[in-house]
Amino acid sequence: MAYLDHAATTPMLDEALEAYVATAREVGNASSLHAAGRRARRRVEESRERVAAVLGARPSEVIFTGGGTESDNLAVKGIFWARRAARAERVRVVSSAVEHHAVLDAVDWLAGHEGAEVGWLPVDAAGRLDPERLRADLAAHGDRVALVTAMWANNEVGTVQPVAELAAVAAEHGVPFHTDAIQAVGQVPVDFAASGVAALTVTGHKLGGPIGVGALLLARDVAATPLLHGGGQERDVRSGTLDTAGIVAFAVAVEAAVKGQQEYAARVAALRDELVERVRQAVPEVIFNGDPADRLPGNAHFSFPGCEGDALLLLLDAQGIACSTGSACSAGVAQPSHVLLALGADDDRARSSLRFTLGHTSTRADVDALIAALPAAVERARRAAALRTPR
């Protein structure tokens, strides 16, 4: 199998898996007071320190969660509620048109249920945000803004945002800035303190850790109202018995991914560039989406004019090639990607898109397999799409 969907999830690193299994064999609730509890607590705190050290945060700023979606929800809803509780007129959320659904839908929920007003920042054709647009929004509404949330790097088209610039603009207005860095950590340099963000989402399974564990880095002076109430385990912001084994494996993976980032990015970007070049040769009319320069090293995203992405996916899947249409399932039915639409693509182009993402286990053989299967798949997908009655 040629696995070209590392942005969906990437295989666990051996060292993370070993750390997970070893820790999972040990009994102990990190909140217990006896020796077994203390041992579990030590593992958690060592992990917290490891994560903090490589991501430029203080240990007390690391809140372990059940993964990226929880971290995003905690940041968006929690900071919104806390800021509004402090001053009632802060009901505006500023976000981008290309966020992952974990942010997008959380913001939409606030608009639908909590009376939030939303400023959606547009992106250019490459998917990039313009800090001046944020400056203009904050200049107009600054006192009423509860938070700004914008992703570090886009999960579909791979565009990397000017996060430090955006965070600086938010800081000028004293507005906390959250960034979903799920796709960025381990792929591009990410430093919490240096970036100037108030909150940052990271998750394990995109960088060689386990699924179901992640963290929200939350600056010490930023308040967030909890989503989950209970034992108050994590800074009273997040409750739930700590997943010691998951946290240990997560920390091992984060450390390995961040420490190896430069070497990884150079290798994977070279392979990605080769993939892009060979796809262009095989299918000359493809459109390469996203920012050609400021993009994630493993991401290649194309529109195949005249094809439907889901037909291509089926045909490539049958040849053992795993990729993604990048479109979310809405009520069980694939919708055209909001990211592609935000880049200015029309419905047909959005539906004709496929994402190939490389990762730490990718080799040239994966690219070879894709190139061997792609031309015939495109040809067949075109024939299938030609049957479609015009809407």
Partner 1 sequence: MRVLAAMSGGVDSAVAAARAVEAGHDVTGVHLALARNPQTYRTGARGCCTLEDSRDARRAADVLGIPFYVWDMADRFHEDVVDDFVAEYAAGRTPNPCLRCNEKIKFAAVLDRAVALGFDAVVTGHHARLGADGLLRRSVDAAKDQSYVLAVLTRAQLDRSIFPLGDSTKAEVRAEAARRGLAVADKPDSHDICFIADGDTRGFLSQRLGEAPGEVVDALTGAVVGSHTGAYQYTVGQRRGLHLDRPAPDGRPRYVLSITPKTNTVTVGPAEALEVAEVRATRPVWTGGARPDGPIECEVQLRAHGDVVPATVSLHADGLHADLRRPVRGVAAGQAIVAYRPDPAGDVVLGSATITA
Pairing of strands 199-203, 177-180: parallel
Nearest Cα to 229, choosing from 112, 107, 78? 78
* CB nearer to partner 1: pick between 185 and 323: 323
Closest CB 320 distance from partner 1, rounded Å: 11
Nearer to partner 1, 86 or 329 (CB): 329
CB of 301 vs partner 1, minimal distance in Å:
21
**CB-nearer residue toward partner 1: 298 or 309:** 309
Residue 115 in contact with residue 169, Cβ under 8 Å?
Answer: no
Active site (annotated) includes residue 329: yes
The single residue of 139, 329, 372, 376 carrying the catalytic annotation is: 329
Structure tokens at 261: 């980032």
Query: Least distance (Å) from partner 1 to the CB of residue 383?
Result: 4
The residue ranges that bind partner 1 (CB under 8 A) are 310-311, 313-315, 317-318, 329, 331-334, 380-381, 383-384, 386-387, 389, 391
Distance in angstroms (rounded) separating the CA atoms of residues 90 and 92: 6
Q: How far is the CB of 97 from partner 1 (least distance, A)?
A: 23
Choice between 124 and 379, CB closer to partner 1: 379
Orientation angle between helical segments 35-55 and 244-259, nearest 10 degrees: 20
For residues 152 and 248, give the distance between their C-alpha atoms in angstroms, rounded to a whole number. 25
Between the CA of residue 359 and those of 35, 101, 203, 228, 248, what are the distances in Å? Answer: 40, 23, 15, 33, 22
Beta carbon nearer to partner 1, 365 or 387: 387
* Least spacing, CB of residue 347 vs partner 1, in Å: 12
Q: What angle do CA 369, 154, 111 make, to 5 degrees?
A: 135
Q: List the catalytic residues.
A: 329
